[in-house]
Chains A and B, each alone.
Chain A
Amino acid sequence: MALTISDAVIWQETADGVSLYHTETGAFSTLNETGSKIWMMVEQAGEREPIALSMSRAYARGNDAVSRRIVTEVNQFIGSMVENGMLLEEA
């Protein structure tokens, strides 16, 4: 599943995190630290699975339960970004 940042989004990394502005809906938000990390990975990797994997590798420290939770949360976060039009996902 290829992920791309919508052309309608203006964004920038700031001291507080990544700030996003959707030019069509007018929605603005600043992502927290984790959200910002995922956003930067989307920009570089552009795929759901590798992002979820690398987040779980970085934070689960081998704990399977934590790893599953991280994968679920990353997927939820990306899902919500796709839903609000900030990210586009193509099969």
Chain B
Amino acid sequence: MTRVVVLGGGLAGVLAAVALTRHADEVVVLETDHYPASPRPRRGLPQSHHNHVLVTGGIRALDRLLPGVVDDLLDAGAHRRNMPGDCLIFSGEGWFHRVRTEADLIACSRPLLDEVVRRHAGIEVVQGVTATGLTGDAGKVTGVHISAEIRRPGRGHAGRLAELRTTTGTPLSDLPQIARTGSVRADLVVDATGRRSQAPGWLAALGVSPVEEVSVPSGVSYATRLYEGPGDIPAVMVHPKYTPARGGTLFPIEGGRWIVTMTGDPPLDEAGFLAYARELRDPVIADLIAKAKPVGPIRPCHDTANRRRRFEDVTLPEGFLAVGDSVVTVNPVYSHGMSVAAMTAVRIAEEGPSQRAVAEVADRSWRMAVAAPRKGGDAKVGRAMLSSPGLAAELFHGQALIPAVRDHHAVFRAMVDDPVEPLTAEQAISQFAWAR
């Protein structure tokens, strides 16, 4: 009987569990937190207050792993927008025309996305159990230590061991042994505990050589606020052109709400937030939220550094795999983490667990996030990108983690043809059925 134990019931953990049910007899997911009864942010996922969009690479991967789940998301109120076809985007080069590409984004609250995925996957997650270390040695991981309280009988905890079940709801057959040793046996332990993963320390305790960690500061903070607002508007993005890298986004999400994020060094007080939105390179977001009713407080996020743990470069013990944010986290402005988790899960489902495959999926996003900004570039091509379907496709397909090929004929036309007049803000906005 082969058993996989997945640590962490966030998106990467749940999707890895779905993928691994194809390769193991039983899969157990241990989550330290408790899921809320309805889609609401939770303690174990502080970033769930912030904007989370899924891009095409992730959308396709999710639907491949769990066919129909994307329809479920849209039925639950998520919004799908083409980039830049259904988005009002003011980039460093100017306003985008509404050209269509294969790059889409799905916007909804993070708690809704997690809940829909979990419901669709139909897997049971053991909640309120914290992984505290690994068992085994530098050659083989044999299981995972779990927090003591689940084993302690007594008021409030009596019988909690029986909660240890597989993803299909079957109680574990070795409960007495788990009670005695405080650890759950596994043929494969998957670390999906996210950006604060302790796995490198746990591996070191088994004698594994240190896992190299590279950290590249992003230099931006986030401030996010929800507003009541209709769903029939485009996603709005105002990007920075120069430093300080001040930008803003507005995405319609489920429940007739907008999730509005200011990036850079945004203030957290009401007046400051609004003034910051107004001082962006264009005040379109400020104009929209000025008329909308805020819901809840303005929430900050300062943990936006790019971080890569190179698990694949050490001789890992057999029976260990790390996935998700534990392996790579990139500046949230790229909106990649969940898509990377989904694309990784597809690789695992199709090829079996492999740290190398995890690294390959992570690398594209990582390279994009830490690449030095391209100096110069041809101004004519940059400007033509705003209206050329071929050039816009290259840019947005890259951002959406799908194959992005250079349309050489479009580059050539950009160099040779007279440039298209750039759109004014009013023209850009009037491409959508709403006026300033």
Contact = CB atoms under 8 A, between A and B. Distances in A.
B406 A12 contact: no
A14 B416 contact: yes
B251 to A, nearest CB: 34
A23 interface: yes
Contacts of B406: 23
A28 B378 contact: yes
A67 B150 CA distance: 96
Contacts of A14: 416
A12 B408 CA distance: 13
Contacts, number: 20
A23 B412 CA distance: 9
Give the interface size bracket for A toward B.
under 10
A-side binding surface: helix, strand, loop or mixed? strand
Interface string B369-380: 000000000100
B408 A28 contact: no
Interface in B148-173: none
A26 B376 CA distance: 13
Interface in A1-29: 10, 12, 14, 19, 21, 23, 26, 28
Nearest to A26: B411
Interface in A25-63: 26, 28
A21 B408 contact: yes
A29 to B, nearest CB: 9
Interface in A59-79: none
B384 to A, nearest CB: 13
A19 B408 contact: no
Interface of B: 378, 406, 408-409, 411-412, 415-416
Given A10-B412, A23-B408, A28-B412, 11 more contacts: A12-B412, A14-B416, A19-B415, A19-B416, A21-B411, A21-B412, A21-B415, A23-B411, A26-B411, A28-B378, A28-B415
